Structure 1
Amino acid sequence: MERLIEGYHQFRTSVFPNERETFARLASGQQPHTMFLTCADSRVMPELMLSAKPGEIFVYRNVGNIVPPYGQQVSGVVAAIEYAVKVLKVGHIVICGHSDCGAMKALQRPEALTELPSVRAWLKHAELAHYVYAEHRERSVEDKLRALTEENVIAQLEHLRTLPAVAAALANGALRIHGWIYDIEHGEITAYDGKKRSFRPLEQDGVQPEATPDARFPASAAA
């Protein structure tokens, strides 16, 4: 806690004075251009990773960067997405998984969640990814974890499409959705290319692959 208090004083004396106008503008409302949905893992810091300024991204975090399909559960994440799309009018939603994800490790060993019934119930929304992940069982331990992390991001993108607010915004071209993986050790991000069904390095030219629907996840499976 002492470290956090020291950090606060540093913010007040060094950071805030240089951004006083920014904070004065933000005090009257927010206009983020992107919603960033990622894992609750403390090692994933969206604003740091993206060099984002206050008010640029609308961040939501939960265990496993999960989006329950429409109709299964009225949750905080679903409410936040609806608010971001319909009220804040974000133009992009990013679902970002990460390396060494504890939630994905738990999916590989569900018996380890006996003492965590709430976590176990929550991770049922990632079962679709675990089902597809079965095709990767011949890989190494590291490769299998990476594969499951990727499949989960793709599955959550499909869940995201089932939300009425998102479906409508996608249909009229007001919204684009993206699937990313953040490598903690190397500080690298890969983005999902739906047409090639693979993740590739995030481009610096601003032209990113479309997270188009994946044929392995029919709409009926996500609903």
Structure 2
Amino acid sequence: MRQLLDGHATFRREFAAGAAPFLQKLASEHQSPGALYIGCSDSRVVPELLTSSAPGDLFVVRNIANAVPPLNDADASVGAALDYALEVLHVEHVVVCGHYGCGGVKAVLDGHKKLKQMTSLYEWLDHLAPSILASRIELVDPEEQWRAAVEANVMQQLVNLTTFPAVRKRLEAEELWLHGWVYDLHSGGVTVFDPAGERFVPAEHALERGPV
């Protein structure tokens, strides 16, 4: 806790003191982020850092394994954030960002049934199991299975987003764009899903082809 409080003191001294007009502007105006970012709770994956975003740029939802429970699921927390992002903030982009080395995905691959004593975590991971387990069928190497499962999980959450009528309506009207990303903890790089090639490609390659 001391580290957190010292960190806040540093923030006040090195950022807030010199950014008073910016902070006052943020406080006095309605937020207007350009994107809803749905990512993993992993402490090593910081969305504002990996996108060089400033306060106010991203509307962020984080949970174990960047999950989006489908419409009418018992857990409505992500759905509530989605409603707010679309209906109130009018974001035009939704990013689902997983990361290689995701512990939640690995727990499913290893057999999350042994986590039944952690009731909430077990039920949460149970949402993810079908797509994750299906992704490993043709792969033998455990590391390749893990990477493929992380990517498959991101894609399934994009599918789950389309169970929400507000998402479908905006997609059809070309007022909303969905993006699947995977962050690499080792390199600091991001791969993005390329619908044309049906695969994940480095973000810089996607940018070379034009706006995404």
TM-score by length of 2: 0.92
- The counterpart of 1:111, out of the listed 113, 138, 142, is 113
Question: Which string of whole-angstrom CA distances, capped at 9 and with x for unpartnered residues, describes residues 126-154 of structure 1?
Answer: 1331243143332x111110000000000
User: How far off its partner does 1:206 sit?
Assistant: 8.0
Please list every run of 5 or more consecutive structure 1 residues that lacks an aligned counterpart in the other structure: 210-223
Check if 1:207 corresponds to 2:198.
Answer: no
Give CA-to-partner distance per residue, 1:78-137, whole Å, 9 cap, x none. Answer: 100111011100010000001211100111122331322211111222133124314333
Alignment of 1:1-223 (within 5 A): 1-28=1-28, 29-108=30-109, 109-138=111-140, 140-203=141-204, 204-205=207-208, 207=210
CA distance in 2, matches of 1:90, 1:206: 23
Q: Identify the residue that residue 220 of structure 1 maps to in structure 2.
A: none
Aligned residue pair count: 208
Distance in 2, Cα, partners of 1:98 & 1:134: 17
Do the aligned partners of 2:112 and 2:125 also contact (CA within 8 Å) in 1?
no
- 2:70 touches 2:161 (CA, 8 Å); kept in 1? yes
Separation in structure 1 between the aligned mates of residue 19 and residue 31 of structure 2, nearest angstrom: 16
Cα deviation digits, residues 19-78 of structure 1 (max 9, x gap): 222211111221000110001111110011111100000010011100111122351111
Quickly say closer, same or farther: Cα 1:3–1:73, change in 2 above 3 A: same
Residue in 2 that maps onto 1:221: none
After TM superposition, give the deviation of residue 205 of structure 1 in Å. 4.7
- Aligned 8 A contact 1:106 1:112 in 2: no
Root mean square deviation of aligned Cα: 1.6
% same residue: 37
